[in-house]
Amino acid sequence: MLSRAPMPTLAPSRAERWDIFCTVIDNYGDIGVSWRLARQLASEHGIAVRLWVDDLRSFGALCPTLDTSRERQQIAGVDIRRWHNVTLDEEESATLTEDSDDALPGEVVIEAFGCTLPEYFVAAMAERAHPPCWINLEYLSAEPWTLGCHGLASPHPRWPLTKYFFFPGFDPNGGGLLREREVLAQRDARTGQGQKPAHIEHYPNLAPLPERGLRISLFAYETPAITALLTIWAELATPAAPICCLIPASRALQAVATFFGQSLQPGDVCRRGALEIHVLPFVEQAHYDALLQTCDVNIVRGEDSFVRAQWAAKPLLWHIYPQDEDAHCVKLDAFLDIYCPALPAAASAALRRFWHGWNAGELDADTWCAFADALPTLTKHAAVWSARLAEQEDLASRLVLFCRARV
């Protein structure tokens, strides 16, 4: 049974240790959010964080210094643990409880995106003299119903424990968005000169980029819209108005390779007319943030890069993770409904048409042209939108305040 938890009004003494559990289901979204959150809690809030991850290989793509062969290690102030996400029998659970601190929960336990905690760990949570604050960190959504569920408490059916639902979001009454203290200052330092750099930080093997024309980053899931958009760009780009597209190595790269009729790897450059494609390596998060901040348009996917594109304060296109029965379309429109009202009608219509076409896998030249014509307006709007979001408390800070009132 759910009940609404009262909003905290003060922050008691600091919790000593937090546990974050993350199951890598698909792509890098879940671990991307969990890793950002863990680092920020450690560096900005002085919290000792244990991050439990069941797939270190995928995690390693975001954290090149990670040793995927180790069971535990310290990186960026975070205690990273390999999570053997299996059910233990009673004997194994008892052994783990007696011989290891792995079963000693911290003051706060975060279940990222509804992953199921080990039963022995839940039992250990119940045995604490003061049970931890148990958080189910939900997926990001602008849907209105999430505001009604944010902070709701759900008592455990067997143990004297309560789980709280925490919804990241865009509204001041929600859970907020991940935003490190320095991210906006770093962005402004990179973009303050008003010129696009020929070289982007942390991409040492990248060929020099054209300093004029439209620069676009493309990070997407597989979709026929990639081929359609490349075709449109190749036909419409001109020497006076070239297009340079930067594509990090990802699942989208196969469509690009097929379009150019050749295999591709990081460092490759392809051209068709005034369209120029640069293939980038998959890099850690801070380096990807720098890429977004130096582009004119950012095509992003999932949750983590979607939020980072908003802090980049540039026009964006969101490739939302597809769900059964088109449930993702509702989430897509929920965001457009809060993002578009301040736009002029023509720009709003162009943005909605482009987003819907991309996520449906169907694009035509008119859709792209309308979006391109609206870019001056969309660029100003993106800056205003980002500034407005930055006036709110970030997700980590709201989470700390929420939990410290309950431990």
Annotated catalytic residue, options 19, 54, 303, 304: 303
Q: Could you tell me which of 203, 207, 214 has the C-alpha nearest to residue 268? A: 207
> Which long-range CB contacts under 8 A does 59-67 form with residues at least 24 apart?
59/24, 59/31, 59/35, 61/28, 61/282, 62/28, 62/31, 62/32, 62/35, 62/284, 62/285, 63/35, 63/284, 64/284
How many Å apart are CA 206 and CA 278, to the nearest integer? 8
Establish whether 26 is a catalytic residue: no
How many Å apart are CA 77 and CA 93, to the nearest integer? 28
Establish whether 391 is a catalytic residue: no
Structure tokens at 73: 């290690």
How many Å apart are CA 162 and CA 5, to the nearest integer? 10
Query: How many C-beta atoms surround the C-beta of residue 330 within 10 A?
Result: 12
Annotated catalytic residue, options 30, 102, 180, 394: 30
- Residues 223, 340, 174, 331: what is their CA dihedral angle, to the nearest 10 degrees? -30
H or E segment to which residue 275 belongs: strand 275-280
Write out the catalytic residue numbers.
Answer: 30, 303
